[in-house]
């Protein structure tokens, strides 16, 4: 990656890593992407089978926004 890149390579998570972080399956993440309800993601290539990555900070923020007070 370029030195000017906004996102460090280690800050990008693959769907399997994101699923482990959020404790959900990769299929659940795919369903959320289709329904536009999950955490923000990056699509690195076009098409249905395009490579998807998640920014760690976005996933953690998305999870914290779902906290429900008892």
Record the tokens describing residue 56, joined without a space. 């760690």
* Domain of 42, in residue numbers: 9-65
- Give the separation between CA 39 and CA 60, rounded to whole angstroms: 9
Digit-by-digit pLDDT tens for the chain (70 residues) are 454 456 666 699 999 999 999 999 999 999 999 999 999 999 999 888 889 999 999 999 999 999 999 8
- Does any domain span residue 57? yes
Q: What is the pLDDT of residue 1?
A: 47
Distance CA 51, CA 65 (A): 26
Classify residue 52: in a domain, yes or no. yes
29 is a domain residue: yes
Domain count, the chain: 1
What CATH code is carried by the domain that includes residue 18? 1.10.10
Would you state the pLDDT for residue 19? 98
Q: Has residue 59 been placed in a domain?
A: yes
Residue 4 falls inside a structural domain:
no
Per-residue confidence (pLDDT) for residue 48, from 0 to 100: 82
């Amino acid at each position: 990656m370029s030195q000017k890149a906004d996102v460090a390579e280690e800050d990008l998570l693959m769907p399997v890593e994101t699923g482990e972080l959020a404790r959900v399956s990769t299929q659940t993440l795919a369903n959320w992407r289709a329904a536009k309800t999950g955490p923000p993601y990056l699509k690195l290539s076009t098409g249905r089978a395009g490579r998807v990555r998640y920014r760690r900070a976005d996933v953690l923020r998305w999870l914290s926004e779902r906290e429900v007070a008892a």
